[in-house]
Amino acid sequence: MTVKQLSLPQLVEQCARLGVPGIGLWREPVQAYGLEATAKLVRDAGLTVTTLCRGGFFTTASSLDDNRAAIDEAAALGTDTLVLVSGGLAPGSRDLAAARARITEAIAELAPYAGERDVRLAIEPLHPMYASDRCAVSTLDQALEIAGHFPAEQVGVTVDTYHIWWDDRAPAAVARAGAAGRIHTFQLADWTTPLPAGVLNGRGQLGDGVIDLRGWCDLVDEAGYTGPIEVELFNDELWRREGAEVLEETLARYLAV
């Protein structure tokens, strides 16, 4: 998503050239290019798919069938992790607790199905500014509480600095998540202001904002996480630039962190 202006073949070619060993993919471009074709493209380049994004939206539009399809797609791509953006309030509802209960029920339906396919669901807490319309799971504590109902090899969490950096309880939650084997992916993005209208596409390039990214990397390290680190930026300005250039810049910023 960070360089969505690149086609999948361009992305794979540039990652291979730069020595980026894995890529996180989103369902829509994979479906457009073809599931098996994407799997082959990535595999032939010697890369791995780190995660597939995304399942979820349990409180609104998305069906469990569509989430099962997402799990199947993850398995076909050879990634062990499907990121879940769980959904916000149900239409007409003002009850966040009810939304989280519905999310837990939906995950209970999906977790065994995922486990049978060696895919782990990674509940992503989203920043509280998305609580109403995208994700009623706003903190790592809440995500871990839900994940705790299921085996760690079926359900864990996504740790994304953009969403949790403000939370003084998140460092302890990272440690608990790591001890429980529930950090299923770790994502970096920086926090910059002013936020754009709609607050979706203002994630900062690493180093442009105020998040202590190195500090979060250390916390995740100390929690025992050894998996891939993804950089996920939704940023209109980055998307307007040449994709290969943004990819190179992002890699340099990542290495600087």
* 210 belongs to the binding site for its own copies (CB under 8 A): yes
Under 8 Å between Cβ of 225 and 199: no
Judge whether 215 and 255 are in contact, CB under 8 Å.
no
Examine residue 199 and tell whether it contacts its own copies (CB under 8 A): yes
Q: Which residue, 61 or 197, has its beta carbon nearer to its own copies?
A: 197
Q: Give the shortest CB-99-to-its own copies separation in angstroms.
A: 10
Site track 49-78 with its own copies (rule: CB under 8 A), x = hit: ------------------------------
Name the residue type at position 100: R
Antiparallel, parallel or unpaired: β 190-191 and 203-204: antiparallel
Work out how close the CB of 129 gets to its own copies at its nearest, in angstroms, rounded to a whole number: 4
Q: Is 212 in the site for its own copies (CB under 8 A)?
A: yes
Among 157, 191, 203, 243, binds its own copies (CB under 8 A): 191
Paired tokens of 80: 């062990």
CB 146 within 8 A of CB 174: no
Cβ proximity of 20 and 46 under 8 Å: no
The span from the CA of 152 to the CA of 193, in Å, is: 36
* By CB under 8 A, residue 188 contacts its own copies: no
Q: What's the rounded Cα separation, in Å, for the pair 249 and 245?
A: 6
String of contacts with its own copies for each residue 84-103, x by CB under 8 A? -----x---xxxxx------
Q: With binding defined as CB under 8 A, does residue 108 bind its own copies?
A: no
CA distance 219 to 215: 6
The answer to whether residue 198 forms part of the interface with its own copies (CB under 8 A) is yes
Which residues contribute to the site for its own copies (CB under 8 A)? 89, 93-97, 127-129, 131-133, 138-139, 142, 165-168, 191, 193-199, 209-212, 215
